[in-house]
Every structure is written in C-alpha cells, then in structure tokens.
Structure 1
Amino acid sequence: MRKLYPIGTRVELVKMDDVQAPPVGTKGTVYGVDDIGSLLVHWDNGSTLHVLYGIDVCKILK
C-alpha cells in the first residue's frame, strides 16, 4: 500500500462507511499508510478520517 499510495498522493473519496465521513467526492492528500494498510489522509475540508483498508474506497487522482 505504501508503494501504491506514497506520501503526497492526491485521492478522491468514493465510499466511506462512517457517519462522520467527508462527502463523497472530497479530495485529499495522503500523509501516510498505517501498519494495517489504512490510508492517512488530510482531506481538503479539514477532516483527517482514515480510509480503512478493505472497507472504504478512494481513487488516485492523476
């Protein structure tokens, strides 16, 4: 996951199963990947909610 999502990768939220999730389509910047593969993201709306591996979905922006 760290190779696929290096620090600085821009992503867009596709799906997150959390009541506090940013809206679908929110963009953010990856600032790390934890030991279980969750993406640590600084979302553009100020949120820092993690993208959980195997549960939530985001896509890499080119």
Structure 2
Amino acid sequence: MNKAEYYKKAYPIGTRIRLIHMDDPYSPIPDGMTGTVTSVDDMGTLHMKWDNGRSLGICPDADSFEIIRKEAE
C-alpha cells in the first residue's frame, strides 16, 4: 500500500481534524483551527474545508494535526 492509499483509509472523507501547526510561510491556517477532510489526492494531501471558510490542504508528512472524530468506514 502506498502513502496515498494509506492516507485515504486513515483519513476518510468527513474526518474532523484539529491543526496543531502548519509550516506554510505564505498563508498558513492558524494553529488550533478545526476542519473536515473533503478528499485525499493521489499525492497524499488531505484537502480540507476549514471552519474559518478556507480550503487549504495539509500534508501529513509536514504538518502537525490530530483527529477529533473519524467517520465510520
């Protein structure tokens, strides 16, 4: 199983996530922000709908976050 397949199983659509920290120098999501996984692409990026209205994706290999609630598979 490659990373993208693993992330798709680990973070299914609808999973709620709390961001701990994002290393984006240009337009990061604030630490502590919560959001919902809307998709996982073939590169393994978790595409998010953040509760503040933004839609910036997170990279599990680079960004720190925790699962608040995982959707039933």
Scaled by the length of structure 1, what TM-score is found?
0.91
Q: Which runs of 5+ in 1 are unaligned?
A: none
In structure 2, how many angstroms separate the alpha carbons of the residues matched to 1:48 and 1:58?
16
The answer to which structure has the higher helix fraction is: 2
1:55 aligned residue: 62
Number of residues of Structure 1 aligned to a counterpart in Structure 2: 62
Corresponding position of 1:5: 11
User: Looking at CA atoms only, which structure, 1 or 2, has the larger radius of gyration?
Assistant: 2
* Kept after mapping to 2: 8 A contact 1:36/1:53: no
Deviates most, 52-61 or 20-29: 52-61
Structure 2 residue ranges without an equivalent (≥5): 1-6
Question: How high is the TM-score relative to the length of structure 2?
Answer: 0.78
CA distance in 1, matches of 2:19, 2:40: 16
Range with bigger deviation, 35-44 or 13-22: 13-22
Q: Which amino acid aligns with 2:40?
A: V
- CA shift at 1:53, angstroms? 3.3
4+ runs deviating over 6 angstroms:
none
Compute the displacement of 1:6 (Å).
0.4
The alignment-based identity, stated in percent, is 45
